[in-house]
Amino acid sequence: IELQVLHKADEFYPLVFIFRKDDLIDIYYTNEKAILDRKKMATDLQNNTSYNRLETIDYKFDYNEMGLNAHLFLKDKLEKKVEIKIKENSPGRELNAFLAPTSSARKNPQYFPIVYLNKFSMVFKKDTDIYVKINENLKKPAEFPVKINNQTCYMARYSLDPINSKWNMSFSGNLNPILIDTNNGDPIKAGLSYEILNNEGYFEIRKITGIDELNHFLSFEFSPAIPNLISLKSEIKIKGKFSLIIDNKEGTFAGLYQITKKNEVIQISIHPTKGWQPFPGKLWLKTYRWIANIEILDDLEFKIQSNWTRL
């Protein structure tokens, strides 16, 4: 069971995800404003999702020096009562951050999901008041299999400032070039800013930065910088690395890129390869690969076809 509290136009709205044993997901909300952007993301990532609007969802999500104080109560679509209470008593804790594992159920997802759990913590077992009731039946919360910072934790976690973004939407159509004016600094286009290097008269992209609605910065850095695609010679192959920086925190995840050109067609591939996840097994983000084929029609006209695939 997952509670999200969304801040929209100076109002707070609850959004509840209930993950079922049959792999279906039931989503509950009270206002359409809470579901607009999340609905598309949830549908893209999962095939079997239901959306259920309720008159009321009783909730609380507070955090202070003692830890989390949260409560949730709702009646699901079958009129079953769902209730959760968590109240920690653990002063002096340290909050962390990491990229949440968010694998898509689709073979060809529309984008790479970035769900960054900022100001994150597991729920400590010691001195915590916790209960879960489903239709008045008390459930026993599961415990995390290993200790964290010498603390036994429940299989429960929270983030006070999560960051959600979609990277490299799959697209087919015209690709407009970035026009460089050296007198006006780094260019800004479609809400993204580009840090440009002048490599002996050839302009290259070293960094791309976007800002979300809560003023979080997400930057992709490239090494070597992405070259001017028009200037590439046929049969060339360029390999490099990239990394994601969120709010000046480096190393969120990283990977490899490759650029090849044959005649008037350029192919760019991106493969995330490095990150951290809290469970053993294959690193989830390594299952994603992005490939774009760009056809050069003339100096200012390009066609692109790009998509993600799951490996």
Rounded Cα distance, 71 and 68, in Å:
10
In three-state form (DSSP H/G/I as H, E/B as E, the rest C), the secondary structure along the chain is: CEEEEEEECCEEEEEEEEECCCCCEEEEECCHHHHHHHHHHHHHHCCCEEEEECCCCEEEEEEECCEEEEEEEEECCCCCEEEEEEECCCCCCCCEEEECCCCCCCCCCCCEEEEEEEEEEEEECCCCEEEEEECCEEECCCECCCCECCECEEEEEEECCCEEEEECCCEEEEECCCCCCCCCCCCEECCEEEEEEEECCEEEEEEEEEECCCCCEEEEEEEEEECCHHHCCCCCEEEEEEEEEECCECCCCEEEEEEEEECCEEEEEEEEEECCCCCCCCCHHHHEEEEEEEEEEECCEEEEEEEEEEC
**pLDDT at residue number 105:** 65
Q: How would you classify residue 136: left for phi > 0, otherwise alpha for psi between -120 and 50, otherwise beta?
A: left
Number of domains in the chain: 2
Question: Same domain for 152 and 9?
Answer: yes
User: Whose CA is closest to 125, among 139, 143, 138?
Assistant: 143
Q: Domain residues for 277?
A: 168-310
Q: What is the pTM of this model?
A: 0.86
Question: Same domain for 13 and 54?
Answer: yes
**pLDDT at residue number 44:** 62
Question: Same domain for 195 and 247?
Answer: yes
**pLDDT at residue number 46:** 63
Structure token digits, residue 102: 């968010």
Q: Do 15 and 4 form a contact (C-beta atoms < 8 A)?
A: yes
Question: Same domain for 52 and 123?
Answer: yes
Question: Same domain for 239 and 206?
Answer: yes
Question: Same domain for 19 and 144?
Answer: yes
HSE, side-chain direction, 13 A CA sphere, residue 116: 23
Question: Same domain for 209 and 104?
Answer: no
Query: Terminus-to-terminus CA distance in the chain, angstroms?
Result: 29
Question: Same domain for 193 and 263?
Answer: yes
Rounded Cα distance, 162 and 159, in Å:
6
Last residue of one domain, picked from the residues 148, 165, 182? 165
To the nearest 10°, the Cα dihedral for 49, 53, 32, 61? Answer: -90
Question: Same domain for 242 and 289?
Answer: yes
Rounded Cα distance, 189 and 2, in Å:
36
Query: Tens digit of pLDDT per residue, the chain (311 long)?
Result: 999 998 887 889 999 999 988 888 899 999 988 887 676 666 666 668 889 999 999 999 999 999 999 999 999 999 999 999 999 999 988 899 989 887 666 788 899 999 999 999 999 999 999 999 999 999 999 999 888 888 999 999 999 999 989 999 999 999 988 888 767 767 888 789 999 999 988 899 999 999 987 889 999 999 999 999 889 999 999 999 999 999 988 889 999 999 999 999 999 999 999 998 766 677 899 999 999 999 999 878 899 999 999 98
Last residue of one domain, picked from the residues 113, 137, 165? 165
Question: Same domain for 182 and 266?
Answer: yes
Question: Same domain for 115 and 137?
Answer: yes
Look up residue 258 and give its amino acid.
Q
Last residue of one domain, picked from the residues 136, 165, 194? 165
Question: Same domain for 10 and 126?
Answer: yes
Q: Do 274 and 255 form a contact (C-beta atoms < 8 A)?
A: yes
Please give the C-alpha separations between residue 224 and each of 32, 79, 179, 258, 292, in angstroms, as whole numbers. 44, 57, 21, 11, 19
**pLDDT at residue number 277:** 75
